[in-house]
């Protein structure tokens, strides 16, 4: 879990530096190791920034499923707007 937390922190730093591809790669590593990691909201944002709409939608759906109380109204709206 600690390694995943570090990878996600590194992914956020890469986004801030403009390295979206690097950030996406790190998020994929975490997703493969811990598909139920509730901290993967960062992945949603990174996928959206890189233009990967289908992956962003998938990540948003996973987030709402795993942490339904954390799903803000905006997150629910985004999921509803995703292609099915």
Q: For residue 66, give its domain range.
A: 2-81
CATH number for position 68? 1.25.40.10
At 4, list the tokens. Answer: 């995943």
b (16+ CB within 10 A) / e for 8-30: bebbbebbeeeebebbbebbbbb
Per-residue pLDDT, 42: 63
Tokens 């795993």 found at = 66
Q: Who wins on pLDDT, 70 or 73?
A: 73
Tokens 């590194």 found at = 10
Per-residue pLDDT, 40: 63
Per-residue pLDDT, 17: 93
| Mean predicted lDDT score pLDDT of the chain | 77
Q: CA dihedral in degrees (11, 29, 65, 53; nearest 10)?
A: 70
Into how many domains does the chain fold? Answer: 1
Q: Model-level pTM?
A: 0.54
pLDDT exceeds cutoff 80 at 26: yes
């Amino acid at each position: 879990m600690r390694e995943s937390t570090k990878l996600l922190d590194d992914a956020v730093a890469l986004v801030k530096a403009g390295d979206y591809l690097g950030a996406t790669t790190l998020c994929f590593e975490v997703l493969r190791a811990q598909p139920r990691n509730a901290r993967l909201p960062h992945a949603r944002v990174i996928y959206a920034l890189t233009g990967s709409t289908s992956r962003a939608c998938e990540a948003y759906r996973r987030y709402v499923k795993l942490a339904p109380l954390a799903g803000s109204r905006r997150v629910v709206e985004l999921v509803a707007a995703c292609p099915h």
